[in-house]
């Protein structure tokens, strides 16, 4: 998870130290995705954060916007995330609601139109899995599919 407060004081050296850490581990910036929690972005620092993320992207890092919701639509264009992770409220709203299911598919299409890949979070049952698959999302996530776990090298 990438927190805006960790990069804003750096001004022009965004990503240099992070890139060195990755190199020490045998990784490249393209091997990781920096995930920004939408709710951690303050209006006061949005321009600085957008600039910082552009610097990371120029180094090859990919950017994900976590917990994307309709309320954060105005942030989508300036941040231009490679991946938008839809808040679990999207899939939960589709339970027995055909209009919400249509809106989910439209949301995925809109995000694809902005060149973002889409993750649907919060899948908890078979019906939600089917709806998420039919939406055209690129990735699916939720306890129904697998619980989080640490991976050993």
Q: How far apart are CA 81 and CA 96, in angstroms?
A: 31
Q: Quick one: DSSP state of residue 151? A: P
Report whether 69 contacts 38 (CB < 8 A): yes
Reduced to 3 states (helix: H, G, I; strand: E, B; else coil), residue 129 is: helix
Domain ranges of the chain: 1-62, 82-153
Give the model's pLDDT for residue 139.
Answer: 97
Count, in order, helices (H) and strands (E) of the chain.
Answer: 7, 5
Give the model's pLDDT for residue 55.
Answer: 82
pLDDT truncated to tens, each residue of the chain (153 aa)? 566 566 655 556 667 778 888 899 999 988 989 888 777 776 666 777 788 888 888 888 899 988 887 656 777 777 889 999 999 999 999 999 999 999 999 999 999 999 999 999 999 999 999 999 999 999 999 999 999 888 776
Q: How far apart are CA 19 and CA 5, in angstroms?
A: 18
Question: What pTM does this model have?
Answer: 0.83
Q: Which two tokens stand for residue 130?
A: 């089917």
Q: How many C-beta neighbours within 10 Å does residue 99 have?
A: 9
C-alpha angle 95/77/30, rounded to 5°? 90
């Amino acid at each position: 998870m990438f927190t805006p407060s960790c990069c804003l004081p750096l001004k022009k050296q965004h990503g240099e130290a992070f890139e060195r850490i990755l190199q020490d581990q045998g990784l490249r910036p393209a091997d990781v995705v920096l995930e920004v929690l939408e709710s951690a972005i303050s209006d006061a620092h949005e321009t600085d954060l957008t600039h910082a993320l552009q610097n990371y992207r120029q180094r090859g890092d990919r950017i994900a916007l976590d917990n994307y919701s309709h309320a954060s639509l105005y942030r989508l264009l300036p941040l231009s995330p490679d991946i938008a992770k839809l808040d679990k409220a999207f899939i939960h709203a589709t339970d027995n609601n055909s209009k919400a299911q249509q809106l989910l598919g439209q949301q995925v299409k809109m995000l694809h139109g902005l060149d973002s890949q889409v993750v649907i979070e919060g899948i908890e049952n078979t019906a939600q899995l089917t709806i998420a698959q039919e939406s055209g999302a690129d990735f699916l996530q939720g306890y129904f599919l697998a619980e989080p776990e640490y991976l050993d090298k």
